[in-house]
Amino acid sequence: MIFRGTFEHALDAKHRLTVPAKFRAALSGGVVLAASHEVSSGSPRSVSIWTPDGYEAFTTQTLSGLNPSSPRARELGRFFFNSSFDSELDSANRVMIPPPLMRYADLDKEVIVTGSGKCIEVWDRKRYDGYRDDFLTRIPEIAASLGDTA
């Protein structure tokens, strides 16, 4: 499944997120909650929600070809595996975001849930709004640079 869309949600007092209805079937076999791997400095952090197979494929692809003994590969592997948690949707289709990920993404009660292709991302609502406004102004520049080899 390709995860698409943007949804405004609120976490409950136990840091549980009700998963948007359109994503529930894809996540019924379990989830991996993980610290996002940001691609640019200054962008807000988020929590990624993956299917277990999706997260395994992503980490395998990202780490493949790296010397497993190199310091960078070891640090990257630690980031992926120390910052991820296996979980399941409860009977109310909620998933609890663990405290380390709440702190990592600086999440509060009000969140934005976005479909990001291979995973879902959970963002602090205020931080996401600022990030999105900035990102949208850069879309023409990003699109124009695609295919450039310089």
The encoded tokens of residue 5 equal 């869309």
Range of the domain at 36: 6-145
Q: Based on the structure, what is the number of domains in the chain?
A: 1
pLDDT tens digits, residue range 96-131?
A: 999 999 999 999 999 999 999 999 999 999 999 988
| Residue at 150 is within a domain | no
Q: How many CA atoms lie within 13 Å of 107's alpha carbon, on the beta-carbon side?
A: 31
DSSP category for residue 96? E
Range 19-47 average pLDDT: 91
SS3 6: strand
CB atoms near residue 52 (< 10 Å): 14
Residue 105, domain CATH: 3.40.1550.20
The encoded tokens of residue 17 equal 């997120």
DSSP category for residue 3? B
pLDDT tens digits, residue range 71-90?
A: 999 999 999 999 999 999 99
| Residue at 129 is within a domain | yes
The encoded tokens of residue 100 equal 């380390």
pLDDT tens digits, residue range 34-74?
A: 999 876 777 889 999 999 999 999 999 999 989 989 999 99
Query: The pTM is what?
Result: 0.89
Q: What are phi and psi of 13, to 5 degrees?
A: -65, -25
Q: What are phi and psi of 19, to 5 degrees?
A: -70, 135
| Residue at 1 is within a domain | no
Q: How many CA atoms lie within 13 Å of 144's alpha carbon, on the beta-carbon side?
A: 5
